[in-house]
A and B are shown apart, each in its own frame.
Chain A
Amino acid sequence: NAGVTQTPKFRVLKTGQSMTLLCAQDMNHEYMYWYRQDPGMGLRLIHYSVGEGTTAKGEVPDGYNVSRLKKQNFLLGLESAAPSQTSVYFCASSYSRDGYTFGSGTRLTVV
């Protein structure tokens, strides 16, 4: 039972480069989320999805795009990376309010 799997686990990007973070869940959850976590700031919601084919903006969506073409996958894209996007990114999924299941995170450094 894998739960929520995030790839890659680590990445270093140069300013202006693009990349896609992949999140996959095997729990048949409808809801999926992308967060970033920075020291002292807790978890901040970037984008979320309430079902296949749907996406919505969270608290800090600027500079990111997402897609949910398949129910089990939620992709987070950075079109032109900036140093301010250096962070730890977490994907989560949920069935309801009973709690989120998180992936182990992607550590992204933009130089």
Chain B
Amino acid sequence: QKEVEQDPGPLSVPEGAIVSLNCTYSNSAFQYFMWYRQYSRKGPELLMYTYSSGNKEDGRFTAQVDKSSKYISLFIRDSQPSDSATYLCAMSARSNYQLIWGAGTKLIIKP
């Protein structure tokens, strides 16, 4: 079993819908949780960063961490075609800087 599980999709939704992307993990030592967005033929770019539990909001994006369930989510409100990309979750423990990555979910927003 992988340390971080992420549904590869693709997830296809109509423009304007609320999107929910999720990752589960097994290592209770993880403290730092990130979401990266990767457009086709580009490198990943940091989208959201959360420490420990709770929610963080940035514009149309909300990151949520539930450490008791070992589950993290990224919500996208009012989704746009420009949000079409692969979304990767990543996390790390307090003791080191190496990130453990999910495989990525491909998101398609249909106009």
Chain B residues with CB under 8 Å of A42's CB are 6, 88, 101-104
Chain A residues with CB under 8 Å of B92's CB are 97
List the A residue with the shortest CB-CB distance to B45. Answer: A102
Asked if B34 and A99 sit within 8 Å, CB to CB, the answer is: yes
Interface on chain B toward A: helix, strand, loop, or mixed SS?
loop
A13 within 8 A of B: no
Asked if A94 and B98 sit within 8 Å, CB to CB, the answer is: no
Complex interface residues of chain B between 92 and 108 (CB less than 8 A to chain A): 92, 97-99, 101-104
Chain B residues with CB under 8 Å of A43's CB are 44, 88, 101
Size of the B side of the interface (Cβ < 8 Å), in residues, is 20
With both chains docked as a complex, state the minimum distance between the C-beta of A29 and any C-beta of chain B, in angstroms.
Answer: 11
| Complex Cα gap A48–B96 (Å) | 12
Contact with B along A4-32 (1 / 0, CB 8 A): 10000000000000000000000000010
| Complex Cα gap A45–B52 (Å) | 24
Q: Which of A31, A96, A103 contacts B43 (CB 8 A)?
A: A103
With both chains docked as a complex, state the minimum distance between the C-beta of A28 and any C-beta of chain B, in angstroms.
Answer: 16
Tally of A-B Cβ pairs under 8 angstroms: 44
B29 within 8 A of A: no
With both chains docked as a complex, state the minimum distance between the C-beta of A55 and any C-beta of chain B, in angstroms.
Answer: 14
Among the interface residues A31, A97, A103, which one has the most CB atoms of the partner chain B within 10 A? A97
Contact with A along B28-42 (1 / 0, CB 8 A): 000010100000011
| Complex Cα gap A105–B43 (Å) | 6
A34 within 8 A of B: no
Chain A residues with CB under 8 Å of B42's CB are 104-105
Chain A residues with CB under 8 Å of B14's CB are none
List the A residue with the shortest CB-CB distance to B41. Answer: A105
B71 within 8 A of A: no
The 4 A-B residue pairs with the shortest CB-CB distance in the complex, in nearest-first order: A102-B43, A99-B46, A42-B103, A43-B101
- Jot down 9 A-B pairs with beta carbons below 8 A, ordered by A: A40-B8, A42-B6, A42-B101, A42-B103, A42-B104, A45-B98, A97-B92, A100-B46, A103-B43
